[in-house]
């Protein structure tokens, strides 16, 4: 049997945890992790190779790994050494920023004084979660055929979304029902009134459209 090690990479709030939970319930995946440990905690390429050898079918999920990683084995030009399939989860940057803002506020971990501070284009938050020119450029050296996935498709049809992943990695689905998609309560949505920020995000949505050959005009503001 050909070994499978599937890796899903995505920004926060793009459905990576939800998808991981669905795959953990698939009886055809033997690389199951503890519910509180979404990612295999490894430090070297040898650690990953040992995990790869241990399981026939394993999955591993990471968030915030779009940009240069501190771990040498997570670089795109090396990730193929222990990974057979990889997907990158993408969501409307406006929704990501709004969802993260509300999540942090609801958990009382928001350390920014105002909404304008949160959406300021020079902030690390907007730069990291909206700059798809850098994101796609970073993954150019990946030797695997990356499958790009949109959060919109997950919301529209969770079953098809999950089955598409199973088909992509070569695993038979084994579900009677899927878990509920949890959404952050939007008690105080962000107001994007900074034109510089809006122009910056819209420009990067155009980058996504060009890469995926998909009309995302409904994302723009």
Reported as half-sphere exposure (CB side, CA atoms, 13 A), residue 69 has a value of 18
Any idea which of 19-23, 88-92, 172-176, 196-200 has the lowest mean pLDDT? Answer: 172-176
What pLDDT, on a 0 to 100 scale, did the predictor assign at position 41?
62
What pLDDT, on a 0 to 100 scale, did the predictor assign at position 110?
61
* pTM recorded for the entire structure: 0.85
And the tokens for 214? 């998909």
For the stretch 65-98, pLDDT in tens is 555 555 666 788 888 888 899 999 999 999 988 8
Range of the domain at 58: 4-219
Average pLDDT over residues 35-52: 65
Residue 119: CATH number of its domain: 3.40.50.300
Between CA 174 and CA 27 the distance in angstroms is 7
pLDDT band for position 160 (50/70/90)?
very high
The radius of gyration of the chain's CA atoms, rounded to the nearest angstrom, is 18
Q: How many distinct structural domains can be found in the chain?
A: 1
8 A C-beta contact, residue 53 and residue 196: no
Starting at the earlier edge strand, list the strands of the sheet with 147-150.
57-63, 4-10, 85-90, 147-150
Q: Under the phi-then-psi rule, with left for phi > 0, alpha for psi from -120 to 50, and beta for the rest, what region is 48? A: alpha
Can you state the angle between helices 16-24 and 158-169, rounded to 10 degrees?
70
8 A C-beta contact, residue 200 and residue 121: yes
Between CA 135 and CA 89 the distance in angstroms is 12
For the stretch 115-138, pLDDT in tens is 777 676 566 778 878 899 988 998
């Amino acid at each position: 049997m050909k070994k499978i090690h599937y890796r899903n990479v995505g920004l926060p709030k793009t459905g990576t945890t939800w998808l991981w939970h669905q795959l953990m319930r698939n009886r055809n995946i033997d690389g199951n992790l503890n519910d509180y440990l979404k990612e295999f905690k490894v430090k070297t390429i040898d650690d990953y190779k040992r995990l790869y050898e241990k399981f026939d079918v394993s999955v591993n999920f990471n968030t915030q790994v779009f940009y240069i990683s501190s771990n040498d084995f997570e670089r795109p030009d090396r990730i193929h050494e222990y990974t057979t399939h990889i997907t990158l989860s993408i969501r409307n940057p406006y929704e990501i920023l709004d969802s993260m803002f509300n999540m942090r506020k609801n958990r009382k971990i928001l350390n920014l004084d105002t909404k304008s501070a949160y959406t300021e284009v020079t902030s690390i938050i907007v730069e990291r979660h909206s700059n798809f020119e850098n994101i796609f450029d970073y993954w150019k050296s990946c030797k695997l055929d990356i499958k790009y996935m949109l959060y919109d498709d997950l919301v529209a049809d969770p079953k098809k979304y999950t089955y598409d992943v199973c088909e992509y990695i070569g695993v038979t689905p084994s579900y009677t029902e899927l878990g509920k998609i949890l959404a952050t309560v939007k008690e105080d949505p962000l107001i994007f009134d900074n034109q510089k920020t809006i122009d910056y995000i819209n420009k990067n949505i155009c980058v996504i459209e060009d890469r995926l050959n998909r009309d995302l005009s409904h994302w723009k503001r």
